Structure 1
Amino acid sequence: MRAKQYEAGVKYRPAGTDALISFALFDLDQSNILRRNDDGTVFSLPGASVRGVELEGRLPLLDDRLNLNFAYAYWDARIEGGALDGNRPLLTPRHVASIWADYSFAADNALDGLKIGAGARLEGKRFADDANTTPIGSAVIFDAMASYPIGETTEIAVNVTNLFDRDYVATMNFDNTATFYGDAREIKATLRHRW
């Protein structure tokens, strides 16, 4: 595969804050993209292009106790040339987004030291094949966390991915005979100590 990409962007940091917002435009052209047929043989697509925008931001609020992070991408992707001209390449969503917020309780609060956070991830609708005959629906997945210091050098944290244990299709195999689901709810407890 060969690829050529052009990208331009700007970053903005408001004066007197740790906030940062970035915006980018890109144009990606690929050629000789290898694919696998249902019988396992390999072929190549003539080419594909992806044009899009990406927006990211980090906003500290409430004296830096509340932090908001967000990202959004729009991808206009299409196969170029051949029998599939104009179709969307397999497993390429049009929209991808995420948002995350965490809050640290102030020192004058009974919950001093506790940090909690939650967020959501969007994986947009996509297709399991280049022919665009097998759609995979979009999914919004929620995550959460909490951490608390135990002394000056030790912290305990709990992270939960797929908080509501949502069943969603992550991908399908190349001939669409098997469906693979995204990870179920996962809870991880971590004890960190700094020497």
Structure 2
Amino acid sequence: MKLYVKNMVCIRCKMVVKQQLKKLSLHYIIVELGEVEILETMSNAQLLEFKTLLLKHGLELLDDKKSILIEKIKKVIIELVHYSDEPAKVNFSDYLSEKLNHDYTYLANLFSEVVGINIEHYVIMHKIERVKELLVYDELSLTEISYKLHYSSVAHLSNQFKKITGLTPSHFKKFKENRQLGIVDP
């Protein structure tokens, strides 16, 4: 039985889902971002209890096709931005269409209608979150981060970062370092 879970975006979420399935004595085949496949068919009582358990952790079981497709779009974006080393020349609209077997225009219109922002903006927001993570880890230079996240240049990354966060990448990094040290810059 395949189930779709909203707000499942990280490894911790996967662990929570696995724990809740275990509580219900259900056996999973796969627990991925936004998707769960279990061996058994759930009774209505189990389904209701699983929904309740998930809600306690900020997760939601989906049952309508549009919501499921939106979560699949988000999953593809999150995997591509946060967990993938896809080649820099990937055309995102083609990649999304191929992964989800739908026309990109349909996916983009549905996403905008339901989520309230367009796919491009959602991708940018996740890329900036990834940039923040990489800046905090301090293992890569801004040039390396720019290349890793497929920006055309460091300037493009910096401009997008400032537009979204209000800070330049170097100010963000300095701000984070000062907060970790307990130092407040005047």
- Shorter-chain TM-score bucket reads under 0.3
The structure with more helix, counted as a fraction of residues: 2
Which structure has the larger Rg over C-alpha atoms?
1
- By relative contact order (CA 8 Å, sep 6+), the higher-ranking structure is 2
The structure with more strand, counted as a fraction of residues: 1
After TM superposition, the score normalised by the length of structure 1 is 0.24
